[in-house]
């Protein structure tokens, strides 16, 4: 089933069950999709939808850090609940071993031997991540493997 349809069905279920956190989170995610579609003037594909969900999760993680600094633990709890809801719709994340295998393959294909070649590796690797790992995680591992 298409991701957008899953989210819309989850919103309907949340409304029926009176689950406020889930309802609020689904509404924000659907709203973000629609806004991007309006801005771009075209419908998003699955990869675009996943990227937006990841962006929403990242935004909430940053908000958690800010809320902790402000000693607002009530906000931290709400944001963590929202992240859990969003993560239900994201693809299963790569394990460390799976990601390392993928990175090693990309390094071998690119013929990379030093950190200078990192761009070549990332160019091959980024499309293979498919929302199952962040670019930051991948680049950190690429840098680590190329340095030594």
Average pLDDT over the chain, rounded to whole?
90
The answer on pLDDT for 148 being more than 90 is no
Topology classification of domain 96-147: Arc Repressor Mutant, subunit A (1.10.10)
Architecture of domain 3-87: Orthogonal Bundle (1.10)
Q: Is 92 helix (H, G, I), strand (E, B) or coil?
A: coil
* Distance from chain centroid for Cα 134: 7
Phi-psi map region of 71: left, alpha, beta (phi>0 left; psi -120 to 50 alpha): left
Note the pLDDT tens digit of each residue in 63-115.
999 999 999 888 999 999 999 999 999 888 889 899 999 999 999 998 888 88
Q: Mean pLDDT throughout 112-126?
A: 89
Q: Quote the pLDDT of residue 1.
A: 58
Instruction: State if pTM tops 0.85.
Output: no
Between vectors from CA 10 to CA 6 and to CA 14, what angle results, nearest 5°? 175
Residues 6 or more apart whose CB falls under 8 angstroms from that of 20 comprise none
Model confidence at 132: pLDDT above 90: no
Calculate the alpha carbon distances from 50 to 54, 100, 105, 136, 146 in Å.
6, 22, 24, 16, 29
Distance (Å, whole) CA 120 – CA 70: 41
Residue limits of CATH 1.10.10.410 in the chain: 96-147
In the chain, list all ranges with CATH 1.10.1510.10. Answer: 3-87
pLDDT confidence of residue 61: 93
């Amino acid at each position: 089933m298409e991701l957008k349809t899953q989210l819309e069905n989850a919103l309907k279920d949340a409304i029926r069950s009176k689950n406020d956190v889930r309802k609020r989170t689904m509404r924000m995610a659907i709203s973000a999709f629609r806004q991007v579609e309006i801005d771009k003037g075209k419908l998003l594909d699955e990869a675009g939808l996943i990227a937006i969900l990841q962006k929403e999760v990242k935004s909430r993680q940053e908000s958690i850090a800010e809320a902790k600094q402000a000693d607002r633990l009530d906000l931290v709890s709400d944001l963590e609940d929202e992240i859990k809801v969003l993560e239900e719709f994201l693809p299963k994340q790569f394990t460390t071993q799976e990601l390392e295998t993928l990175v090693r393959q990309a390094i071998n294909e690119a013929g990379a031997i030093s950190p200078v070649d990192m761009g070549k590796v990332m160019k091959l690797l980024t499309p293979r991540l498919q929302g199952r790992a962040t670019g930051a995680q991948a680049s950190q591992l690429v840098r680590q493997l190329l340095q030594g």
